[in-house]
Amino acid sequence: MMPVNGDTDEEREMEKFKAFKLTEVEKKIRAEFVEVTLDDLDPGDVVLRVAYSSVNYKDALAATGKGKILRRASCIGGIDFSGTVLSSTDPRFAKGDAVLTVGGEYVGVSHDGGYAAYARVPGDYITKVPPGMSLWEAMAFGTAGYTAGIAMVRMEHEGLKPANGPVIVSGATGGVGSIAVSILARLGYHVVALTGKESESDWLKKLGAKEILLRQSLNLEKIKPLDKAMWAGAVDNLGGPVLAWMASTMKENGVIASIGLAASPQLNTWVMPFILRGARLLGINSGDGSADVRETVWRRLASDMKPPLLKEMCRTIPLRELPGVFDDYINAKVTRRTVVDLSE
Ligand SMILES: NC(=O)c1ccc[n+]([C@@H]2O[C@H](COP(=O)([O-])OP(=O)(O)OC[C@H]3O[C@@H](n4cnc5c(N)ncnc54)[C@H](OP(=O)(O)O)[C@@H]3O)[C@@H](O)[C@H]2O)c1
């Protein structure tokens, strides 16, 4: 146990706290609550009280074992967290700083993550919460929102602007998709939401989608090399045939942000959209967080890219309810971001 100087409530609580741990046992994942102390956590320069974590598709893949996400035998889950620094030997952070981490390659995967009341991490893993954003909002975004933010900034960098034409978003009711819809609408784009959930059409319109396109209405069996040119931009969370269809329907110089693989990790497509229409395919990797990109994206998420309905786009659950939410992510039943409250 780390030395404690007094006997405050916080120090007593720190002696033992609840964590949601993932362990690989005979090629399956055992996901369970355990009691840990600070000394059980992986080493790091910064100790913090976690305020919130969140649930992403990747967290669900990790906790259910449906994807090979864990990079070691056992680890506290949760790829995202926000919280307040309690102590730091890294000069960039001081006691009381509000900090966050999202979408990195280590936290919740090969370094103990955010599904615990306390975390201890190297300073390189965290970033300060930008002015204009609360700890809760940081996790309302989480990896999903940060990734949508990177996609937006990268597409703008490639020249995308509202006057270029409509932008389509697949997996629109998911975490990345719903935040992308909202950000694009707020920035003045004509947004087309591509979804498998007709019942969520009104919700997607409320978020700012001008049109709803049902995935079931697409003919993905036979994708043409070049189809009717419709989209100036595309945000793809599915991969597979949907991404191939998007490529064949891009307008001249259209830009696609490839984010996810919720339908398939494979891509079978034609070169015509790229060499005849100048379409561009941008790979978006939330783990590739140079300090510059991180700072720009978080600053914009706290200001002109903040969705007006961010509160309504999330539900907040206590840590104890976490095990019950993962299957819905795997079965594409989720329509809100899930923020996990670590205060109890
Ligand atoms: N590149 C990166 O750094 C990065 C970062 C974050 C996430 N991701 C990836 O991006 C994707 C979306 O993440 P998320 O957190 O938004 O996930 P999510 O909240 O679970 O949303 C995914 C959405 O995709 C659709 N969907 C799910 N399964 C599907 C299937 N089998 N076939 C067709 N559509 C399906 C559903 O939307 P509709 O019902 O509305 O169609 C679902 O709501 C995931 O693949 C995730 O791994 C990548």
pLDDT digits (tens, 9 = 90+) for 27-65: 899 999 999 999 999 999 999 999 999 999 999 999 999
pLDDT for res 12: 59
Q: Which of 141, 154, 176 to mutate to test the pocket of ligand 1 (most atoms within 8 A of CB)?
A: 176
Regarding whether 204 and 156 lie in a shared domain, the answer is yes
Helix (H, G, I), strand (E, B) or coil at 322: helix
Regarding whether 87 and 117 lie in a shared domain, the answer is yes
Regarding whether 275 and 160 lie in a shared domain, the answer is yes
CB of 67 shorter than 6 A to ligand 1: no
User: Quick one: tokens of 124?
Assistant: 């390189």
CA angle 331, 146, 98 (to 5 degrees): 115
pLDDT for res 2: 46
The residue whose C-alpha atom lies closest to atom 21 belonging to ligand 1 is: 174
* Residue 135 within any structural domain of the chain: no
pTM of the predicted model, to two decimals?
A: 0.93
* Residue 243 within any structural domain of the chain: yes
pLDDT for res 314: 96
Is the Cβ–Cβ distance between 62 and 22 less than 8 Å? yes
CB of 261 shorter than 6 A to ligand 1: yes
Other C-beta atoms lying within 10 Å of the C-beta of residue 1: 10
CA angle 169, 193, 188 (to 5 degrees): 80
| Block residue for tokens 């952070």 | 93
* Residue 20 within any structural domain of the chain: yes
Element (H, E) at 245: helix 240-248
Is the Cβ–Cβ distance between 80 and 114 less than 8 Å? yes
List the domain range (segments joined by +) for residue 187. Answer: 143-283
The residue whose C-alpha atom lies closest to atom 43 belonging to ligand 1 is: 174
Q: How many A from CA of 168 to the centre of ligand 1?
A: 15
Q: What CATH number is given to the structural domain containing 53? A: 3.90.180.10
User: Quick one: tokens of 246?
Assistant: 């998007």
Q: How many A from CA of 326 to the centre of ligand 1?
A: 13
Regarding whether 165 and 92 lie in a shared domain, the answer is no
Residues 84 and 97: their CA atoms lie apart, in Å, by: 6
* Residue 294 within any structural domain of the chain: no
Regarding whether 153 and 38 lie in a shared domain, the answer is no
Q: What is the dihedral of CA 175, 179, 181, 186, to 10 degrees?
A: 170
The residue whose C-alpha atom lies closest to atom 25 belonging to ligand 1 is: 171
pLDDT for res 225: 97
Q: Which atom from ligand 1 is nearest to the alpha carbon of 177?
A: 16
Q: How many A from CA of 282 to the centre of ligand 1?
A: 17
* Residue 2 within any structural domain of the chain: no
pLDDT for res 5: 44
Regarding whether 69 and 191 lie in a shared domain, the answer is no
Task: Tell me how many domains the chain contains.
Answer: 2
Question: Phi and psi of 326, rounded to 5°?
Answer: -65, -40
- Residue numbers of the chain with a pLDDT score lower than 50: 1-6
* Residue 138 within any structural domain of the chain: no
Q: How many A from CA of 44 to the centre of ligand 1?
A: 31
Q: What CATH number is given to the structural domain containing 208? A: 3.40.50.720
Is the Cβ–Cβ distance between 92 and 123 less than 8 Å? yes
